[in-house]
Structure 1
Amino acid sequence: MDATEWFWWSVVAIAVVATVVVAVRLTIKLVRARRLLGASNIPMSNKVMFWAAIAYLVSPVDLLPDPVLLDDIGFLLLALRSLHKAAVRVGAVGPGRPEA
């Protein structure tokens, strides 16, 4: 293997490891967010966005090919951020309450 080939394999390996790390952190956030889905004071639109992002994650149709999970991760992060902001707005999460 020459130096150029070794370099590109290293870049790919680093990208794969980074994607796996982000996916694991995102999975932890998803597990913590499930508590917010049961809160009655959070708007249904935020809950629907969350479930739509989950459906997009498992869907075989993607904007980017499946080995590249950037679009899936982006949609999930957007949905989690929206759900968390709604929870803070209605007081389900905040000072004195556990984070989601």
Structure 2
Amino acid sequence: MDGWDVFWLVAAGVVIAATLAVAVTLLVKLVRARRLLGATGIPMSSKVLFWASVVYLVSPVDLLPDPVLLDDIGFLLVALRSLHKAAERAGVTGRVRPEGGPDAVGGPLG
């Protein structure tokens, strides 16, 4: 192996590690955002945008080839931001009460 082979191997490893870090972060945000989908007061358009981005993420049809996930990640980030902004405007938080009462997804916890 010469110097360039090692360089490209390390560069590929860094790109793969960065992609996995972004994917894990988005997965955590998706799980947290799922709680908001059942809340009332959030416009249906924000919920539909979220589900459309999830469908686009797993669909084989993309604007960019699949190894380049920039379009998928970008669309998902826009949908998550829209969902969270709509939840803020509606006064809904994604936090769940420990006792899981009737207001499991609701206003600020007191």
TM-score (norm 1): 0.89
1-structure distance, mates of 2:50, 2:36: 11
Q: State whether structure 2 residue 27 is matched by structure 1 residue 31.
A: no
RMSD over aligned Cα atoms: 1.6
Structure exhibiting the larger radius of gyration computed from Cα positions: 2
Task: State the number of aligned residues.
Answer: 97
Verify the 8 A CA contact 2:92 2:108 in the aligned structure 1.
no
User: How do residues 1-100 of structure 1 correspond to structure 2 at under 5 angstroms?
Assistant: 1-93=1-93, 96-97=108-109
TM-score (norm 2): 0.82
Deviation at 1:15, TM superposition (A): 0.6
State the AA in 1 paired with 2:16.
V
Deviation at 1:93, TM superposition (A): 2.4
How many percent of aligned residue pairs carry the same amino acid? 66
- With CA pairs under 8 Å and 6+ residues apart, which has the higher RCO, 1 or 2? 1
Of Structure 1 and Structure 2, which has the larger fraction of its residues in helix? 1
2-structure distance, mates of 1:4, 1:12: 12
2-structure distance, mates of 1:69, 1:82: 20
Query: Which 5+ residue runs of structure 2 have no aligned equivalent?
Result: 95-106
Deviation at 1:61, TM superposition (A): 0.7
Displacement over 3 Å in runs of 4+: 94-97
State the AA in 2 paired with 1:59.
S
